[in-house]
């Protein structure tokens, strides 16, 4: 004679199946969520790495006139706003360059000398002609001083001070912070990768630094913390024309050059 399941046994079986199903669903959701977060983070990391490489290439193609004199129109500008943890305390840098880095191959200024600004802008920023739609790393570009119209009856400001003329272009979203430090001269080098050699200020607007340290900070996926509030990505760039900018005549990359820099740092927005 076969013995049937009791009601208690049936309830226990249903309960056990329910618990196993709940655990399985929770595990699947956790794994799926983790995969989505990792994918999102890696996507941001790749875009940030591309943007950082563009800025590095732009710094390496920095331009300075080889005419035996210093010119503050071609100097490197660093506006130090903080440690770069978020858009509000991120730095701004500005310099003259050649080539397609940052501006792109199709840009009208890619084959000429031009000036660029790199900064972090937050969603909703109204400082420019068009409102900023997404937080990220942005760049502005304007023609070299020598290429700007000589006849200017309307007295138009062709510099970056004219926020209506040069709209920022998004280089990469997901970047929420930017910090820049500089090693002013080769004489500052005390040891390889010596952190003390880098400074947050650069007052010599008619010269360019020896090295530039760039740190971008990536936004965490949907507020999830990755070790800290933001994840840093850093590069250090040696500027080839540093010596040339000190005396206006040295060969790019040559050691030496007399420091004649003036303490005339220019402001920038």
Q: Which of 37, 220, 226, 35 lies closest to 135 in space, CA to CA?
A: 220
Least confident of 91-100, 189-198, 211-220: 189-198
pLDDT single digits (tens) 234-255: 999 999 999 888 876 555 555 5
**Could you tell me which residue, 238 or 31, shows the higher pLDDT?**
238
Q: How many Å apart are CA 31 and CA 114, to the nearest integer?
A: 49
Give 260's pLDDT tier (boundaries 50, 70, 90).
very low
Summarize the chain as % helix, strand, coil (round to 5): 30, 20, 50
Domain boundaries, the chain: 38-247
pLDDT at 259: 39
């Amino acid at each position: 004679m076969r013995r049937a399941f009791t009601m208690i046994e049936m309830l226990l079986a249903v309960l056990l199946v329910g618990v196993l199903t709940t655990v399985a669903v929770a595990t699947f959701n956790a794994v799926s969520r983790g995969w989505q977060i990792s994918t999102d983070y890696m996507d941001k990391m790749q875009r940030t790495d591309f943007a950082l490489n563009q800025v590095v290439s732009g710094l390496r193609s920095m331009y300075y006139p080889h005419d035996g004199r210093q010119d503050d129109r071609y100097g490197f500008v660093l506006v130090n706003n903080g440690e770069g943890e978020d858009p509000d305390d991120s730095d701004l840098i500005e310099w003259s360059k050649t080539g397609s880095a940052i501006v792109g191959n199709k840009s009208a200024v890619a084959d000429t000398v031009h000036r660029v600004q790199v900064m972090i802008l937050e969603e909703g920023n109204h400082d420019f002609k068009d409102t900023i739609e997404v937080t990220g790393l942005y760049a502005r570009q304007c023609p070299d001083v020598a290429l700007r119209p000589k006849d200017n009856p309307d007295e138009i400001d062709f510099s970056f001070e004219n926020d209506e003329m040069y709209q920022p272009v998004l280089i990469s979203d997901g970047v929420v912070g930017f910090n820049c430090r500089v090693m002013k001269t080769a004489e500052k080098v005390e040891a390889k990768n010596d952190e003390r050699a880098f400074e947050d200020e650069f007052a010599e607007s008619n010269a360019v630094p020896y090295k530039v340290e760039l740190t971008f900070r990536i936004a965490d996926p949907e507020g999830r913390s990755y070790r800290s509030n933001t994840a840093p990505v850093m590069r250090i760039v040696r500027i080839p024309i540093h010596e040339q900018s000190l005396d206006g005549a040295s060969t790019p990359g040559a050691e030496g050059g007399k420091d004649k820099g003036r303490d005339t740092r220019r402001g920038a927005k």
